[in-house]
Amino acid sequence: MNCVYCEKKATTNDHIPPKGLFSKPYPENMITVPCCSDCNNLFSKDDQYFVTMLSLRDDVKNNPTIIANMPKIKRTFQKIEATGFTNKIRSGLHKRNIITHSGLLIPNMDAMYYDDKRILKVVDRILHGLIIGIFNDYDKKQTVIIPIERIKSTDLKGMNFVFNQLLPAVEKKDVFIVGNGDVFAFQVVRPANNTKSYLWKMYFYKVVVYLGIAIPEVIKTTNSVL
Which region among 4-12, 90-98, 114-122, 149-157 touches Zn ion (by CB under 5 A)? 4-12
Nearest residue to 161 (alpha-carbon basis) of 211, 218, 217, 208: 211
Q: How far is the CB of 174 from Zn ion (least distance, A)?
A: 32
| DSSP single-letter state for residue 26 | P
**Closer of 36 and 213 to Zn ion (Cβ):** 36
Distance CA 159, CA 151 (A): 12
Q: How far is the CB of 45 from Zn ion (least distance, A)?
A: 16
Binding mask 145-164 for Zn ion (x = CB under 5 A): --------------------
Distance CA 47, CA 123 (A): 10
Q: How far is the CB of 8 from Zn ion (least distance, A)?
A: 5
H-assigned helices in the chain? 37-55, 64-78, 83-91, 116-130, 160-161, 167-171, 217-222
Instruction: Give the bridge partners for 184, in sequence order.
Output: 178, 204
> Which of the residues 9 through 68 are near Zn ion (CB under 5 A)?
36, 39
**Closer of 6 and 109 to Zn ion (Cβ):** 6
> Which of the residues 89 through 148 are near Zn ion (CB under 5 A)?
none
Q: Which residues bind Zn ion (CB under 5 A)?
A: 3, 5-6, 8, 36, 39
